Amino acid sequence: MARKPSRKNKGAPLEIAGRYRVVRPLGHGGGGAVYLVQDLLAGERLMALKLVEGISESVPAIADLKNEFSTLSLLRHPHLAAVYDLGATEREMFFTSEWIDGRDILQATQDADLNTVFQLLVQVLRALDFLHQRGVLHLDLKPANILVTAPDRTGELSVKLIDFGIAQWKRRGLAQAAGFSGTPPYAAPECLQEREPSPAADIYSLGMLLHQIFARRFPFASQDPFEILQLQIYKDPERVAGLDPALPDAFADLLRRMVLRKPEERFASVREVLEELNRILGENFSLRGQQAPGRILEESDHLFYPEILEALSAALDAGRSLRLAGPEGAGKTRLLERLKAQLQLQGRRPWYFWDRKAWEEFAAAAEARAERPILLDLKDATSADMAAAGRGEGSRVWASHDAGEALPGEDLLRVPPLDEAKGRAFCEAEIQGAPAELSEQLARSTKELYPRRFGELLQALREEGALAWEQGGWHWRGSLPVDGEALLKRQSHREAKRKSEVREFLAGSGLRLPAAALEGMLGFEAGALRDALAGWVGEGWLRAEPVNGVLCYRAVAAGAERAAAGAADPAGLAESLNALYDQGKFAAGIAWFEEALQA
């Protein structure tokens, strides 16, 4: 098929794909132009759009790209720029992502003190560990892809990684797979030689960047970019000298180990880097942030069923297909995500579908089939769906609520409820000071205890003050005994009270506000409304709509939309918020007032 013309060296388009209005070019690199755009279907929200040139036009290659991109779009972390959408113009494919208005990390650390530099470094490590735990490699870590934003309300700087996983994603879809992943001289030697990368490749790139930050030079005798390319492949790095005298001497050894020529001689994981950093500096940096997660299980990588993960992996290794059965909330999605990450880090690249339409399109395209594992996490998937789709040539694992019989040629694995031992393992690993009897009492007082219900119990304990987030971890502050069913009943009453307060406030004020502003105004803990709002929208009395790119909520009157709904004028808004403040319901004061005005 003839190649379509490229946009390279053409003028910036006014609009892309009939949806994105170009504000201005942001640059050109990494195989395509980058623009700052407004999404006309999302309240003119600002985002970055990158055109990707040279993508293969074959159906299997494009299906592969879409499948892997859907995984990137699901990743959410405070220090990762969100990835939104994949699309195509008549000339090339493109993807959109969160636009970060910030300076690159080299500029941001130019005159920063060591405390600030290490604060930013730990944020980078948290983001990298999050990616690696999910089987995603960045493969293009460099100053321009680590942006530092302005101080937030706490007065602290914040890091955002951009373009994570994109180098690997693009390479798999290139019509002519020439060149290597990454940017010299930050790219690891194995990437320069086009060998299979591992997490050690990202650790190398970060190590080269840290040499620039702390030593303002690369760890080689020559600083010429072309000579560094040769030295990276054939020579081990030098141990840098002349670091800040406040740094321990062993810090230079840490930097050197990060950039050793052979991957197996570097740190094996981000966690190892952080452990060594803590040992050298006498610090207690954590891969978890100081701000408590919205949900107890949200940032935990704890796996309740390691034996099931092992069985799933063994089935795929043997070329067998398997049905993973269990009720809603049994943890099937987490198991499949962990299995996917494991397979990706082994270089096996499974197909992973959570969207039914995408799966049906894939199943209908025989030429897209390949001898690669297929993982299906489709809502309400049935045996009839799977029988109709067939298995193709590869092995398959699919999740099901239905605990019926397995299909011919397919194994069946049921997820059992959590027992006391599994609950105890979580408490010992994740809650400092948790009494040994806690998990036993929760399991015995709760029917059919699965991970989701276990998380709800922990959330209830948190809201009653028995669990507190301190120094990057959960600590026990409660007392025994605990009754699981009684906990859930009290939690249900609290949630009903929240619903009533939100409904009364929004219906009475006519305001439309983001979730965070609602939480602040009504005195709720950050994240308390996150899950509830979607359910209330489904009930029909609440409407969600983007305003200036921010999702806001407003009440809908019975039978028809409230005629006066919308943003109030500043004077009326100030009066409403002052009244709330006088009632003690508006603890956040001026910060939330400003956010409400912006919305």
- The CA distance from 121 to 592, in Å, is 30
User: Cβ of 309: how many Cβ atoms within 10 Å?
Assistant: 17
- Give 81's DSSP letter: P
Cis ω for the linkage preceding 481 (within 30 of 0):
yes
Give the CA radius of gyration of the chain: 26
CA distance 437 to 459: 18
pLDDT tens digits along 287-328: 887 777 777 887 788 899 999 999 999 999 888 889 999 999
Q: How many CB atoms lie within 10 A of CB 100?
A: 17
Q: How many CB atoms lie within 10 A of CB 561?
A: 11
CATH 3.40.50.300 residue spans of the chain: 306-414
- Could you list the beta-strand ranges (E) of 326-418: 351-353, 374-376, 396-400, 410-414
Q: Given a cut of 70, is residue 582 above it in pLDDT?
A: no
Question: What is the architecture, at CATH level 2, of domain 1-99?
Answer: 2-Layer Sandwich (3.30)
Q: What is the pLDDT of residue 154?
A: 54
Tokens of 333: 């999605």
Instruction: Return the CATH fold of 102-287.
Output: Transferase(Phosphotransferase); domain 1 (1.10.510)
Name the DSSP class of 162.
-
**Segment among 47-51, 126-130, 355-359 with least mean pLDDT:** 355-359
Cα–Cα distance, 56 to 173 (Å, whole number) = 6
Q: What mean pLDDT is predicted for residues 45-57?
A: 77
Provide the pLDDT for residue 107: 94
- Whole-number average pLDDT of the chain: 82
Average pLDDT over residues 330-348: 87
SS3 for 369-390 is CCCCCEEECCCCCCHHHHHHHC
Q: Which two tokens stand for residue 436?
A: 């040994």
So what's the pLDDT on residue 565? 39
Reading the block at residue 561, the tokens are 């939309």
For residues 599 and 597, what is the distance between their CA atoms, to the nearest angstrom? 5
pLDDT band of residue 11 (cuts 50, 70, 90) is low
Asked if pLDDT for residue 111 goes beyond 60, the answer is yes
Provide the pLDDT confidence category of residue 443 given band limits of 50, 70 and 90: confident
Model pLDDT for residues 172-190, shown as the tens digit of each residue: 655 444 456 778 999 999 9
pLDDT reported for residue 583:
56
**For residues 13-33, average pLDDT:** 80
Q: CATH for 497-598, among 1.10.150, 3.40.50, 1.10.3470, 1.10.10?
A: 1.10.10
Residues with Cβ within 8 Å of residue 479, at least 6 apart in sequence:
466
Question: Could you read off the pLDDT of 87-100 as tens digits, one per residue?
Answer: 877 667 888 888 99
Would you state the structure tokens that stand for residue 153, as one six-digit string? 């309300």
Q: What is the pLDDT of residue 165?
A: 72
Q: What is the 3-state secondary structure (H, E, C) of 134-173?
A: CCCCCCCCCHHHEEEECCCCCCCCEEEECCCCHHHHHHHH
Distances (CA, A) of 30 to 37, 79, 206: 18, 21, 19
Length of the chain measured in residues: 599
Contact (Cβ atoms closer than 8 angstroms) between residue 581 and residue 520: no
What residue ranges of the chain are covered by domains with CATH 1.10.510.10? 102-287
Q: Which part of the chain has CATH 3.30.200.20?
A: 1-99
Average pLDDT over residues 268-284: 95
Q: Which residues pair with 312 in a beta bridge?
A: none
DSSP state at residue 407: P
What's the pLDDT tens digit per position in 525-559? 767 787 788 889 888 899 988 776 567 898 986 53
Q: Assess whether pLDDT exceeds 60 at residue 198.
A: yes
- Closest CA relative to residue 139, chosen from 88, 206, 89: 206
pLDDT at 346: 80
The predicted pLDDT at position 570 comes to: 52
Identify the three-state secondary structure at position 63: helix
Residue 457 — very low, low, confident or very high, per pLDDT cuts 50/70/90?
very high
The CATH 1.10.10 portion of the chain extends over 497-598
CATH of 306-414 given 3.10.250.10, 2.40.260.10, 3.40.50.1820, 3.40.50.300? 3.40.50.300
